[in-house]
Structure 1
């Protein structure tokens, strides 16, 4: 039947891994069949890639469908935070799906979440607030958050954002700040020694 053929084509597109780029024809198919997809959480990332974000009408329809779509798991939501997804409403929605993560799971993906912070349009974002909130709440997450951002400060494009987040985190941890500052000073000393050793070697 026609419906069976359409579903077969949709299944083929949904079987792609996350690195496969959709063709214009495939995007058109997903957009046209969007109402068939709302009960499939795994289809959401690819549907979002089919939206023409220059078309205001499509974007508004997309936002409406987010409220009806089968809710993705946190693991599925993380995909919607990579560089391909730039719309702030979409990214905020993805972050909202991370709230159910247990602390130990959040700790395991802290590096990944810190990495995708660079794709946010603004310094103040739903993802930044989520990470700060979880970092304040759990020392292990906070430790990973601090050192993951600290390790990226040498990159000019993201230095300002990560510096602001580090400052916000350190200001909010109260009495724990001293131990963290001491660790940071030790790390800075090691970096200076390594740099000096490298100069002497050459």
Structure 2
């Protein structure tokens, strides 16, 4: 009986220690970086938003209208993302969730991109989409699937992913993301359209191509479909 109690106490203490380590870790950031500052007058909360007095909140703080309106896909990539994150819906602040509508013209593409702060779950409402994501180094394994209306696919947090409408008709999908401010990094835009530009010497070495190829890519206008 005494040994049983001892084992129970040891197990309880071990679990308490493990959980204390888990809760001691830093929370996931909700912005790209947070530069430490000693002057509070120039500081903001870590999530980038101050909170309204709850007594002053109204139903409109938790309401957004417009996801029934198709996005304008008349652009070079043939897609448009209509986001509903904390920037559009103030009531999402600190709730850790957001939403987006994605419209695709025939052969439209939501280019390879990542969400540094969120996992994405996508459901197709209209049309057909070829979707996929690539795992991290060293495997860089590609997972793909063709989705039809009602199909759902998950893109793990931080991994490069894409959606492509290979059909001759429009496509519509909705995505939910596990952050109020998931962020988006479109790979081509970030690498070839950064301001100021990344050194051509760096990109020539990284992609193992001629400098003229890099110059041509950096000279293009990289469309942001968000």
Q: Could you state the TM-score of these two structures normalised by the residue count of structure 2?
A: 0.24
Relative to its length, the structure with more strand (as a share) is: 2
Larger radius of gyration: 2
- Higher RCO structure (Cα 8 Å, ≥6 apart): 2
Relative to its length, the structure with more helix (as a share) is: 1
